[in-house]
């Protein structure tokens, strides 16, 4: 398969062509193998087309699903502390607050920053 064919397994045809051009501009030619790996990474993203657009917009030569998630969280302006405060407020509203000290084991682990 050609690089374009590999990418078209995951993203729209015009976007596959733009990804190839983008890599050429970065002086990182898209080989068949690189395209196969990139298609696999894009497929792991919630919206492969949006992830490909983000990759081009940000000037990245590749993409990781976690980068998409982290970028989306930052664009929402929500930090780990914001999420923790939001979770604690929800627990208090629902009456699920523990008596006495805060039980940190019950607080969901936060990813990102």
How confident is the model over 93-107, as pLDDT tens digits? 787 655 545 555 555
Domain assignment present for residue 83? The answer is no
> Residues 68-102, buried b or exposed e (16+ Cβ, 10 A)?
beeeebeeeeeeeeebeeeeeeeeeeeeeeeeeee
CB atoms within 10 A of CB 113: 10
Q: Is residue 107 part of a domain?
A: no
Amino acid 113: pLDDT: 47
Decide if 12 is inside a domain.
yes
In the chain, the number of structural domains is 1
Nearest-angstrom CA–CA distance, 51 and 67: 9
Q: Taking the model in full, what pTM does it have?
A: 0.61
Instruction: Kindly state whether residue 44 falls inside one of the protein's structural domains.
Output: yes
Q: Is residue 58 part of a domain?
A: yes
Is residue 100 in a domain? no
């Amino acid at each position: 398969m050609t690089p374009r064919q590999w990418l078209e397994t995951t993203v729209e045809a015009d976007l596959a062509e733009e990804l190839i051009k983008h890599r050429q501009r970065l002086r990182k030619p898209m080989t068949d193998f690189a395209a196969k790996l990139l298609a696999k990474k894009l497929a792991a993203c919630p919206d492969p087309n949006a992830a490909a657009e983000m990759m081009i917009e940000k000037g990245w030569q590749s993409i990781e699903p976690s980068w998409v998630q982290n970028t989306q969280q930052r664009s929402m302006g929500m930090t780990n502390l914001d999420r923790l405060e939001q979770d604690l407020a929800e627990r208090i509203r629902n009456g699920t607050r523990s008596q006495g000290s805060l039980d940190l084991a019950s607080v969901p682990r936060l990813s990102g920053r």
